[in-house]
Amino acid sequence: MSARNPPHASGPLPPRREHASTGANPLRRASDRFESWFRGFLMLVLALGLPVAAFGAGLTAYESSMRVVRTQSAERHQVDARVTSVVEEAGEAAGLRARVRWADGETVRTGTTLVKPDTPEGAPVRVWVTGDGAVTGPPMSGNQAVTTGWFAGGAAAAGVAAGVFAARTGVRRVLDRRRYAQWDAEWDRVEPLWAGRFRR
């Protein structure tokens, strides 16, 4: 029988040995398998939970802000007033704090509001007031509601990502401490045997 015609040349080829699966690796410890499973679970949470949390938080914040927009728009309105006196400077960016006066039907009302630094006494200004005549700021706008929704959604997404990272880091540290303890215990059992072999 020659080398050119081995015994199995005319028969079926021997079956190929399949590679051992990752889970069947005898060198993998229980902590390794748990860490692998937990990492996959966190990736699932990140893939599904992050968009759901971001969308839910953003939509909730937007709807809440829009209710504020509708309420403030219904309760506030602008009136034509005149500056009667400048009270104090509110800062270069804010301008001047001035006393103003306006007519509400037959009632004359006064209040304090911010005006531009170069506004003289007697100048006309537009002032936001409430239904009972108190000076206030402008109502929240729809753009501000949208911005609030985006900010809340981004904060929720960042919170989910931070939570996933913290969970992975915490579990990894716990498992590493356990592995180090196991290695120390195994070395305590093996080290005397190795030391005894070198003493011979």
Q: Which of 109, 64, 100, 70 is nearest to 82 (CA)?
A: 100
Length of the chain equals 200
Tens digits of residue pLDDT in 100-139: 999 888 888 999 988 888 888 889 999 999 988 899 999 9
DSSP conformational letter for 5: S
Tokens 């990492």 locate to 39
User: What residue segments make up the domains of the chain, in order of their start?
Assistant: 30-70+143-199, 75-139
Q: How far is CA 85 from the centre of its chain?
A: 47
Give this prediction's pTM.
0.65
pLDDT at 3: 46
Cα separation, 116 vs 126, whole angstroms: 12
Roughly what angle, to the nearest 10 degrees, separates helices 30-75 and 142-199? Answer: 170
Tens digits of residue pLDDT in 133-178: 899 999 999 999 999 999 999 999 999 999 999 998 988 888 888 8
Task: Give 47 or 183, the one with higher predicted confidence.
Answer: 47
Is it the case that residue 18 has pLDDT exceeding 70?
Answer: no
Is it the case that residue 2 has pLDDT exceeding 70?
Answer: no
Is it the case that residue 72 has pLDDT exceeding 60?
Answer: yes
Average pLDDT, the chain: 81
Cα separation, 147 vs 152, whole angstroms: 9
Tell me if 127 sits within 8 A of 78, measured CB to CB.
yes
pLDDT at 145: 96
Lowest mean pLDDT among 3-12, 97-106, 125-134, 179-188: 3-12
Banded model confidence at residue 33, pLDDT cuts 50, 70, 90: confident
The four Cα atoms 172, 174, 176, 178 give a dihedral, to 10 degrees, of -150
Task: Give 64 or 9, the one with higher predicted confidence.
Answer: 64
Name the pairing type of β-strands 96-104 and 124-130: unpaired
